[in-house]
Amino acid sequence: MNKLRILMAALALSATMPTLAQRMPDIGFESVGRGKPLAADVRETPVVGPNWMRGFIPGQAPQAPTPGQPAQQQVNGFRPGELPAGIEPLPIDIFTTKDFYADRALWTDQRYFRCTSGYSTEEQWGALIGNPLILSQDPADGVWGHCDNDYPREAIISPYGFATAQEHYEALMEETRKRGGPNKYTFKDFPAAEWNGIYERPLFSVDHQNWYWMRHNQIPTILSLLTPKYQERTVQEYYHQVNTNAAIWPSTYCWPEGFMRRWHMAAVWEHNIMATPDMVQILAGVVRNFITNVYIGRDFIMDDVASGGVPRLGEAVPQWYGE
């Protein structure tokens, strides 16, 4: 059996359920903290865009089609002046503003971002594939996405009522105890050795889309999940992507980019998993530099959490991708 499908069933919990909700496997019981379908299935949500549609050749400018053949590239979006009926542009937006800080009241209006997704801001000037959507040197020529497409906020937030990860963990542990666990294994009776292996995710596969690729989300929807400080940082990044063409990634300076980077399609194509009775190690990343160790049966040290620290297993040494 394809190990990818096993991994995605175990980790992403994506299998078969009714439409309009995430499809889930049948785990045999209703859990207090896992297996609940989200409000929408991202695989049934069109990308927001704008982007070049499939069929382009990375690194090459759009070309006229060969006689009798389809066009090499087609814009999945709308250029200024060619907007769908009913879409009225704002007098100023992130493509034309001189001070995005002063426009904070407009950040909740998807037209301020020309109905683009976070991912597509990088495509406006060709930062991802070298084929810019903007065909001039003027950011005012920025391309619009689809204003009717969006993965809803209620499908992103947790479907459970836990206020903290600690509450969630404790509820799952109590459930496990009621079901006779947690089990303790040795190498002689360890049942998970067959999990060891390389789990590959087909790039751009329809069945393996995720909302956190930022291709299916309107920017105001994502901003609604963030604190004011991180809203500002996010809009600042998008401003420089689309307005000043000064895209800067943390990797430009060899800075780690955070735990969620491990799930980005450009960062991780496969997961190398090694399971033992005491630890599960996940090695990932295009350059194999994402390492996560899951220690079985260990308890986090919570001594300094109240004062702003983080749960840890050993000394209070910052680790980019956690423990």
Q: Is the peptide bond before 182 cis (omega within 30 degrees of 0)?
A: yes
Higher pLDDT, 144 or 198: 144
Whether the Cβ atoms of residue 178 and residue 112 lie closer than 8 Å to each other? no
pLDDT digits (tens, 9 = 90+) for 156-181: 999 999 998 889 999 999 999 999 99
Instruction: For residues 205 and 208, give the distance between their C-alpha atoms in angstroms, rounded to a whole number.
Output: 5
- The pLDDT of 58-87, averaged and rounded, is 72
Res 146: pLDDT: 96
Res 65: pLDDT: 53
Instruction: For residues 48 and 216, give the distance between their C-alpha atoms in angstroms, rounded to a whole number.
Output: 5
Res 56: pLDDT: 46
82-89 long-range contacts, CB within 8 A, separation 24+: 83/144, 84/147, 87/111, 87/115, 87/144, 87/147, 89/114
Alpha helices by DSSP H, listed for the chain, are: 3-7, 118-121, 165-178, 219-223, 228-242
Query: Which single residue is written with the structure tokens 């800075």?
Result: 255
Burial class for 205, CB neighbours closer than 10 Å (0-12, 13-18, 19+): exposed
Higher pLDDT, 54 or 239: 239
Instruction: For residues 305 and 316, give the distance between their C-alpha atoms in angstroms, rounded to a whole number.
Output: 11
Res 110: pLDDT: 98
pTM for this entry: 0.80
